[in-house]
A and B are shown apart, each in its own frame.
Chain A
Amino acid sequence: MRYNNAGLSEQIKCLAEGRETACSLAEKALAKADQLKELNAFVALNREVIMAQAEASDVRRKEKRCLSILDGVPIAVKDNYLTRDFPTTACSLALPEISPDEDATIVESLRNAGVVIFGKTNMHEWAYGATNSVSSFGITRNPHNRHHITGGSSGGSAAAVAAGIVAAALGSDTGGSVRIPAAACGVYGFKPSYGRASRHGILPLSWSLDSPGPIAASLDDIELLLPYFLGADPRDPTTKYSANYQSVMGRTPPRLLNLTGKFLERASHVEDAVQKALSRCNVELETKELEDVETYFAAWEAILHCEASSYHQSSMMAKPEKYHPMTLAHLEAGRQLLAVDLLKAQRLRAQFQHYLLENAQDWDALVMPTLPVTVPAIGEDWQEFGGRKVTTQDSMTWFCWLGNLSGFPSVTIPVVTDHSSGLPIGLMLMGKPGQDEELLATARWIDNQLRQVQ
């Protein structure tokens, strides 16, 4: 579990009460990052840059001109967000051609709020994988057990939060890249609805599936960050109709729809853990068998590879040796897909959204485990569960891609630690498009009930 329980809310309180300064928080985080170097969670951590931000924050606080309640809090950033004071590499040797003097919109908003941008975190190369075992900086290790992966692609961000180095970190999610590592590391991760959070300044994997999202140690901390994520940004036209974050009360008890079916199998101990957790909550729970999952998964995968390949087309042909062989193979698959494949996939995406909304209307959240297995050991290539044998990569995205193909908001909350392995198990909730706040209200209801009975 976390080595330091000072979440974002606690750090804010300490700063306000004068029990900590921005410099003391930054010093502690730097010391912890150094102590836990073996996790390989960070790929850029410049002490001078960090302390200069912290010192400026302390001056503001002393002069009573704090920029927000977050002023002085250190937050880590995934290495695919542009940051003007740290390099951005997407953990790839095929370096992006980018301006080094620009912040992604979300980083800029946090910086304007006085947040100390606390370095860049390790990720799966170009976010094109869900294990964090492919990175130009090496594999990221799980704080719960160094022999296990963190999941990815925002594995460094999740590890940094789970280890208590920082209270929160930024991630991005194309097929679960916020939720997978958050669940694997026993923390909280939220993927907003597509079009609610600006992608400006975040290196794309697949622009119609990507969504930025926060990883934190509690839902309270996630919600503290959402004003800096949700809302319109003229530099990302898909956010044109995005409302600013506004906390709401959800329906109580919430109505959950437990999705099952072919290609939604899970290991029995994971299913038992999730069902046991849900049975401890006061929720209305129905089960629905989702049809044609294999077809919808194919649509997600087609869109992913085509868009990634399109973005990397000139670079992959000019410098193929700079890509990891598996990344290059994914990109080449995208290059070989046909226009008719992509168009069919896009039509299936529309059908999938319609199906979830029209055929199963009366729900507050769809519910599944976040992962079908407990997080695999480093070097394990295959996973067996529910009568299937699938690659570790596919096991990581097994449920999460549903949220990206539909564009619906989705959150993972840690429900239990697997007693035999000591590894965490997460529960995933998926809400309706644009109703991110309602989904979080449902998640809070469940989370509160789980914490009360623990």
Chain B
Amino acid sequence: MSKELYLTEDQTKHINQTLKRIRDGLAQAKIAPVQEPAHFYLPEIFNAI
């Protein structure tokens, strides 16, 4: 992304905390290695509707 926003110290701190929390959480994921694209998301879950 070439354009940058001017951010305050508070905003930068909040962004860094948010990114850390998300990445720490995702890093703990117990999921099988990717096999094929169809495994990314299972919209079939809504077929019951």
Contact = CB atoms under 8 A, between A and B. Distances in A.
A433 B41 contact: no
Contacts of B19: 333, 336-337
Contacts, number: 116
Interface size class of B (residues with CB under 8 A): 20 to 34
A194 B48 CA distance: 12
B26 A295 contact: yes
A212 B28 CA distance: 32
Contact of B25 (A295, A330, A343): A295
B30 A292 contact: yes
B3 A317 contact: yes
Interface in B34-49: 34, 39-42, 45-49
Given A320-B5, A328-B11, A336-B19, A350 B45 contact: yes
A242 B8 CA distance: 45
Contacts of A354: 42, 45
Contacts of A432: 48
A326 B14 contact: yes
Interface string A235-254: 00000011100000000000
B46 A434 contact: yes
A434 B22 contact: no
A407 B46 contact: yes
Interface size class of A (residues with CB under 8 A): 35 or more
Contacts of B29: 292, 295, 299, 344, 347-348
B28 A242 contact: no
Contact of B41 (A316, A329, A347): A347
A200 interface: no
B25 A347 contact: no
A289 B29 CA distance: 17
B49 A347 contact: no
B7 A329 contact: yes
B1 A335 contact: yes
B5 A433 contact: no
Interface of B: 1, 3, 5-8, 10-11, 14-15, 18-19, 21-26, 28-31, 34, 39-42, 45-49
What are the nearest 3 A-B pairs in CB distance?
Answer: A298-B25, A434-B49, A329-B11
